[in-house]
Structure 1
Amino acid sequence: MDVSLGAVTVEEGFKAQKWDILGQIYTPLHVTQTSFAIHAVFPAGTFVPRHIHDTQDEFFHMLEGTMVFELDGKEITAGPGTHLTMPMGVPHAIYNRSDRDVVALVVVSPTRRFYEYMQRIDGMTDRDEMARLAALHEVPFV
């Protein structure tokens, strides 16, 4: 993965990519071997199933709206300006239980196979297949 100096907007995305994953819109902003940054929009009522990153740390920086994070069995409600750290090996799930979109900056480090996983599940609706692929890309559902 090439590291390039410069700026990218959410409208442009990294290599003009934008992914629709179960109605959630993810725009990669930067991808290197050591980190992967994503602008994420979570519509009302959407969620990310409980999963674990065995080989990565994950960070959420809340930009708009409020989400509920289940981190290692505990719930944390986070709004704009909140930064959440999910160390590797900690099971977590994410829920937008509000009636409006939530926007966040998501970073995983190191990137490992997560970028490839997100590319693979773009547009997919089969949750069982998504779970199967998650396990193959080091982010198994638990």
Structure 2
Amino acid sequence: MKLDGGITKAGAAYHGRELNILGQRYFPKASCEASFAFETNSEPGQFVPVHVHPTQDEFILVQEGQLELKLDGVWHTAKAGDLVRMPRGVPHGYFNKSDKPVRALFWVSPAGKLEALFEVLHNMSDVPAVIAASAAHDVDFLPPEASE
């Protein structure tokens, strides 16, 4: 798929679709074969447990707030303006352990099946089903102790 030129406005989603991924608000911002970008809005206490993208590099630009990240088994803190780089195959997870919301721009390259996965996960609440759907879309979650 080819990249459509244009502007995705602040607070809006590409093609107008806001997604609910386990209670977090995701706004797809751009999509093409080479890359998929999306904004996340994480309330205090929300997180995505440690997982692996075997075929994608992933990036996070923290726009507001602070994220705690576990990257390849090591804890890091990313604040507004920081760019997080997560190479393919490296286990990672992000956690809002603060008392304030976090807004961040994520993107993966290549796009792979991530946008399709988000469509499947929209409003899904059954965690085992989320894990199975993720594995079918090239995202592998590690056991819960990996996020400790």
- How many residue pairs match? The answer is 142
Residue-by-residue CA offset, 1:39-66 (whole Å, 9 max, x unaligned): 1101110010110000000000010001
Name 1:119's counterpart in structure 2: 119
Name 2:26's counterpart in structure 1: 26
Residue-by-residue CA offset, 1:96-123 (whole Å, 9 max, x unaligned): 0011110100010001101100111011
> For 1:1-142, what aligned pairs fall within 5 Å after superposition?
1-142=1-142
Name 2:145's counterpart in structure 1: none
Give the superposition deviation at 1:11: 3.4
The secondary structure found in structure 2 opposite 1:33 is coil
Distance of 2:123 and 2:65 partners within structure 1:
24
Distance of 1:51 and 1:76 partners within structure 2:
16
- Cα separation, partners in 2 of 1:11 and 1:80, compared to 1, 3 Å: closer
- Give the 4+ runs in structure 1 shifted more than 6 A: none
AA aligned opposite 1:64 = E
Residue-by-residue CA offset, 1:58-92 (whole Å, 9 max, x unaligned): 00001000110000000001110110000000001
Cα-Cα RMSD: 0.9
Task: Report the TM-score when normalising by structure 2.
Answer: 0.93
The secondary structure found in structure 2 opposite 1:130 is helix
